[in-house]
Amino acid sequence: MRAVVQRVKRAQVDIDGQTVGKIGRGLVILLGVGHDDAEAEVERLWGKIARLRIFEDADGKTNLSLADVDGEVLIVSQFTLFASCKKGNRPSFTQAGAPDEANRLYELFVERARRDVPHVETGRFGAQMDVSLVNDGPFTLWLDTDTL
């Protein structure tokens, strides 16, 4: 499983001109599911994200977690995180999870996040989405369960 995690001041996701998810201060998580991923990766990845100390304390140091700042979360599925550009100029997505299984694990990840965070919003799996955000910092991390 792979995630791009962005600390944001605010973010939203729109589908066909309608806002389907909107948050204030917190994290946008672009989530990709690989073909070898399972429930263990959901737990490992969410556990790491939930405990990341990437919010600033009163001294301006990144010492606070999502829970410490009562942060919100927007989770957006993004299979393109498993793109390979090794051959040619057109990305290959053969390492991305099969849609049914990827959707199941995406939903499981959302469910897991909702156990810890009162305000979790999502996009829609497989939809064409417009994601807008104000990146705070900017602060962006790339996480891969293969290297956690």
> Which pairing describes strands 130-144 and 2-15: parallel, antiparallel, or unpaired?
antiparallel
Question: In angstroms, rounded to a whole number, what is the distance separating the alpha carbons of residues 86 and 46?
Answer: 29
- Between the alpha carbon of residue 2 and those of residues 13, 16, 37, 145, the distances in Å are 20, 26, 10, 6
DSSP letter (8 states) at residue 16: T
Catalytic residue (one of 6, 12, 78, 122): 78
Q: CB-based contacts of 109: which residues, under 8 Å, 6+ apart? A: 1, 31, 42, 45, 46, 75
Residue 80: active-site member: yes
Question: In angstroms, rounded to a whole number, what is the distance separating the alpha carbons of residues 19 and 130?
Answer: 9
Residue 79: active-site member: yes
Catalytic residue (one of 6, 12, 79, 82): 79
In terms of Cβ atoms closer than 10 Å to its own Cβ (0-12, 13-18, 19+), residue 82 is buried
**Active-site amino acid positions:** 78-80
